[in-house]
Every structure is written in C-alpha cells, then in structure tokens.
Amino acid sequence: MVKGTSSAASRRTDIVSAAIEVFAEIGYFRATTAQVAERAAISQPYVYRFFTKESLLVESLDVSWQRIVQAFQHVIDSSEPQQLEDGFIQAYEEIMLEHRNEILLQMQAQTIQETQVRNSMQQGINQVKQLVLNAFQQAGIANASERTSDFLARGMLCNVAMAMDMPDLMAKR
C-alpha cells in the first residue's frame, strides 16, 4: 500500500472519530466542520477533502452500526443458542459503555430527515434486526420475530435511559 494512502485512510478515521464526538456532544445541527477539524487536529479544508457535513454524519453512523453488527456477529459465532440473547445484551451494554457517543449520535439521527441520513439509519437498524432475527430463528427460539422486536425495543429504552442518566429504566432480565 502506498504510504500516502494509509495516511489518508488514517486521517479519514480520525475525522470520523472526531465527528462522532462533536456531533454527539453538541448536536449535528449546531456542530460545524471547523469544530470537527479542530477536534481531529487538522484543517477544515482537509475535512472537506473527504467529506461534506452530511456525508460525515452518514459515515459516522455507518461506523456505529457496524460496531454493533460485528459485536453481535461475535456473539453468534461464540455462543450456545440458549445464551444468544444474554450475549447480545452484554455486547450492547459494552458498546454503550465504551462507545456512548455513537449511541447518542444514533439517537439524534433518528430525527434527521435528510434522505442519506434516514437511509443509513434504516439500513443499520434493519441489518441489526435481521442479524438478531436470523440468530433467534436458527437457534430455534419460539416466536423469534416477537422476541426480536422486544429485544430491539428494550435496547432503545436502554438508549434513552443512558442518555437521560436514568439507569432504573433499564430492565434487568
């Protein structure tokens, strides 16, 4: 790989990481690419070399969804069927602790009407839903579709509980 290419890829990652933090902390609409550039310790024109503000949000959301998909896939690959749901819960709780800003960003993005953002959110939640549903079905879990919907709904409630610092809202099984 060409040295400049890996450096550019690294800078893209740095920009996305900074954007996740800035967007989650002050909100997508209030945030500027200048603030993202400052957080990433680069110039604003360098941010624009790779992203518009909207494409930066979409990339940030895609990163956050892929983290969940990868964590859940790891659970599927390493768990017994009867431990799937508990494994998903544990994996998601770890993401909420270690990548809180990504979850906050997803919560904000639920209200953004721009087509690319809505598409990213829809694709992300559909990918997670399908992964969980398939795992439940393959494990022979009764009412897999209902259980998947309940699982996702509880996850969204956990997001609200985390965002509002109200841990008592999180249902324990």
Q: Which CATH architecture has domain 3-169?
A: Orthogonal Bundle (1.10)
Q: What is the predicted pLDDT for the residue at 155? A: 94
Mean model confidence pLDDT for the chain = 93
Q: What is the predicted pLDDT for the residue at 9? A: 85
Taking 50 as the threshold, does the pLDDT of residue 2 lie above it? Answer: no
Q: What is the predicted pLDDT for the residue at 168? A: 85
Q: Which pTM does this prediction carry?
A: 0.91
Taking 80 as the threshold, does the pLDDT of residue 79 lie above it? Answer: yes
Domain ranges of the chain: 3-169
9-17: list long-range contacts, CB under 8 Å, 24+ apart: 11/40, 11/42, 11/46, 11/50, 12/50, 14/40, 14/41, 14/42, 15/40, 15/42, 15/46, 15/47, 15/50, 15/51, 15/56, 16/56, 16/59, 16/60, 16/63
* Model confidence pLDDT, tens digit, residues 89-147: 999 999 999 999 999 999 999 999 999 999 999 999 999 999 999 999 999 999 999 99
Average pLDDT score over residue span 21-45: 96
